[in-house]
Amino acid sequence: MLTNEIVKQKLIAKFGVQVTDFHEPYEMLTFEAPKEMNLKVLNFLYDDDELKFRFLTDLQAVHYPNQQGRELVVVYHLHNLADNIRIRFKVFTDIKTPDIYTATGLFSAANWMERETYDFFGVNFVGHPNLKRILNVDEMDYFPMRKEFPLEDQTRIDKDDDMFGRG
The model's pLDDT over 83-141, given as tens digits with 9 standing for 90+, comes to: 999 999 999 999 999 999 999 999 999 999 999 999 999 999 999 999 999 999 999 99
| pLDDT tens digits, one per residue of 64-99 | 999 999 999 999 999 999 999 999 999 999 999 999
Rounded CA separation 110/56 (Å): 7
User: Does the pLDDT at position 18 exceed 90?
Assistant: yes
Q: Residue 78: which CATH number?
A: 3.30.460.80
Would 119 be classed as within a structural domain?
no
- Split into its structural domains, the chain has a count of 1
Rounded CA separation 8/11 (Å): 5
Count of beta carbons in the 10 Å neighbourhood of residue 3: 11
Q: What is the per-residue pLDDT for 149? A: 74
CA atoms within 13 A of residue 107's CA, in its CB half-sphere: 27
Q: Please give the full DSSP string across 51-83, using - where no structure is assigned.
A: T---EEEEEEEEE-TTSTT--EEEEEEEEETTT
pTM for this model (two decimals): 0.89
Would 111 be classed as within a structural domain?
no
